[in-house]
Structure 1
């Protein structure tokens, strides 16, 4: 047996010995209303990749998918903050020279009941899926192939700006003015965003049952509250993309459905789907329409999951299809779990493309 699987088995043996009680992040009271919280997210991964070895055999890779430090809390009852760091894919393909950076950093003020203004480095609120926290996904990772924000803008779906978010009854809303693509004249004379107009991103969500009030949405809940919601979003900035055919507006639209229904006997059915449309120039492979779907049935700590994603690009032979059967072990819900999946993928001309296969096992500790 190769060293990588041996190390994974040792890790799983250690997991089995851990206590089953809930974990609590460090919470430091500072005053009557002021509280500081410090948390840690670790996601070690093992991947087995078809034809990934130098001689064409199955390749193995052990690395840290995410290593985050989260610092958040309240200054007063209505004034709060959130910041986190990340150093993703640390050690992937043997590369430990990975950037350590700020991923989120913003201030929030609640000026009316459940109505907030956020300012800082924010997630662009296009869809529920890209607003989910990596801590609470129901699959191993995001459907990143479907999130195609303007190239070169912001970092990991974040951008600097100001956002209004809140609720009007069952209707949740988020609307943000973000920096977007900077107005610049390129060396070839092309001018991107000549009037330096900021980017606008907004989404709305109707909650039919339990209202989702999370700052970062969850892909799966572990309570007795049924959830069903539908949402839609839009992202627009004029003259933000330069391609070989000229300068184009950047436009994105999304719609999605989320369902989490608890059943008797500590069971739950979870369904999540989203559709995206992008317009960034007819000759940009980022332009096109795609969707993802996830379905899972949780039996206590066990959950089989099936997900798929598809993208039809406006550029010929730039399509994508991925099918991901998986299985989750929820040892301590989002605090400690083990997720696994096999990704079966085709990229390019799907009718002719070779089939890629990648197996992934990811252990998560959030404390």
Structure 2
């Protein structure tokens, strides 16, 4: 499959025409971003309670909430791994408790706040990829962070937090448009044994963040632990710049869809690097009313990443992260009267490894069998915005599978009917 990075440029131009360069004055209230997994533009009551009046005496506050995703699903054998291609006609079925998070946040002072979140380390139910059933798991600490707002232009966030150089990797689970996160945003940062020693996309470190140019320009720059086996590893450095052409986009965890609340058109670019590894990305997000019926959401990104070719240094990623490009696109339309949102998604992970990265494996074979792409779509029904909703999705994942006569493009399917409830 061929890839065209210029696709993002075309999307960007289309978005600019839809947005029409509208300007709205920024709201003058201050928000504590860490207290919300739900975007403030949707959860306005929470934002008002947290911000308060500068003239009123300060009182510490605390909030407790939860987010749950559970689904009935079916997945064709081979969806998670092409090695199971010989049984591609068989389907595994399951009722699954996928996420069960407890959220705790608090305002400790006028400028200081904290956020903590737990989650399940693995889903409860039949694991579709293995067929094994788990009936209980112990929760893990997912997020644990403290934020201090020195000013609107400079804030520090310290602790365990989501780490990414692109928008989709910094989305909150409650604000997703599709049924789940993308397949390729955390390919090397998901688990402890991943190349970057991640924790479901989280890492420990300190992140600086601020807003300039009337809140239209956001920057993020942080240093994190990354991969570390002896305490002497170079720090992982992650940065991002984003410019909002319409309403300021100030949520700490971005929304995947805002259901027409406000007008957002944001372009961003970022980097992620440690040792011989680096990842460069650019992304665009549009969410605004379009027509009388409802609102359009578009989310697109392009990444180039590689572990480099240095195979001698101790913190080389050359044989852990092959050179590759990742493309991502989500497009949906929210019909406000029936509260329905159809959406489509496309993702590509195209591996084009360098010879030094394959460690003796023929490059052609390695690239063919590890590249894959995802095409899917679904329909969401919102009982109460992101508070309670139902999502039906069908997703396919395609690989080049090696057979006796050569390579063949194989496609495997997955069906989810997922319910979400969220309160914070």
User: Under TM normalisation by the shorter chain, which class is it?
Assistant: 0.7 to 0.9
Does 1:354 pair with 2:406? no
- Runs of 5+ consecutive residues of structure 2 not aligned to the other structure: 1-42, 79-86, 128-132, 190-194, 309-317, 354-365
Aligned 8 A contact 1:330 1:338 in 2: yes
Higher helix share: 2
Alpha-carbon deviations, 1:176-203, whole Å to 9, x = none?
110111153xxxxxxxx9x522110111
The alpha carbon displacement at 1:46 in A equals 1.2
2:377 matched to which residue of 1? 325
Would the alpha carbon gap of residues 114 and 163 (structure 1) be closer, same or farther in structure 2, given more than 3 Å must change?
same
Does 1:277 pair with 2:304? yes
Would the alpha carbon gap of residues 138 and 102 (structure 1) be closer, same or farther in structure 2, given more than 3 Å must change?
same
Query: Of the candidates 315, 336, 345, which is equivalent to residue 388 of structure 2?
Result: 336
Would the alpha carbon gap of residues 223 and 293 (structure 1) be closer, same or farther in structure 2, given more than 3 Å must change?
closer
1:316 matched to which residue of 2? 367
The alpha carbon displacement at 1:113 in A equals 2.3
Aligned 8 A contact 2:58 2:110 in 1: no
The alpha carbon displacement at 1:125 in A equals 3.3
Secondary structure, counterpart of 1:312 in structure 2: strand
Higher RCO (C-alpha 8 Å, min separation 6): 2
Would the alpha carbon gap of residues 366 and 224 (structure 1) be closer, same or farther in structure 2, given more than 3 Å must change?
closer
2:221 matched to which residue of 1? 175
Query: Of the candidates 229, 234, 256, which is equivalent to residue 197 of structure 1?
Result: 234
Query: Of the candidates 252, 256, 268, which is equivalent to residue 295 of structure 2?
Result: 268
Q: How many equivalent pairs are there?
A: 325
Alpha-carbon deviations, 1:82-119, whole Å to 9, x = none?
11000141224222353421110000000012531011
Counterpart mapping for 1:23-38 below 5 A: 32-38=58-64
TM-score norm. by structure 2 comes to 0.71
Supply the distance in 2 between the matched residues of 1:198 and 1:76 (Cα, whole angstroms): 30
Supply the distance in 1 between the matched residues of 2:179 and 2:170 (Cα, whole angstroms): 16
Aligned 8 A contact 1:319 1:349 in 2: no
2:36 matched to which residue of 1? none
Supply the distance in 2 between the matched residues of 1:221 and 1:285 (Cα, whole angstroms): 34
Counterpart mapping for 1:76-115 below 5 A: 76-87=109-120, 88-93=122-127, 94-113=133-152, 115=154
Higher strand share: 1
Would the alpha carbon gap of residues 46 and 201 (structure 1) be closer, same or farther in structure 2, given more than 3 Å must change?
same
Would the alpha carbon gap of residues 56 and 266 (structure 1) be closer, same or farther in structure 2, given more than 3 Å must change?
closer
Query: Of the candidates 149, 155, 162, which is equivalent to residue 199 of structure 2?
Result: 155
Alpha-carbon deviations, 1:111-153, whole Å to 9, x = none?
0125310111121131110100010000000113243335152
- Runs of 5+ consecutive residues of structure 1 not aligned to the other structure: 1-21, 185-192, 239-248
Supply the distance in 2 between the matched residues of 1:284 and 1:152 (Cα, whole angstroms): 9
2:103 matched to which residue of 1? 70
Secondary structure, counterpart of 2:169 in structure 1: helix
Would the alpha carbon gap of residues 211 and 49 (structure 1) be closer, same or farther in structure 2, given more than 3 Å must change?
same
The alpha carbon displacement at 1:57 in A equals 3.9
Aligned 8 A contact 1:175 1:200 in 2: yes
Worse overlay, 111-120 or 293-302 = 111-120
TM-score norm. by structure 1 comes to 0.82
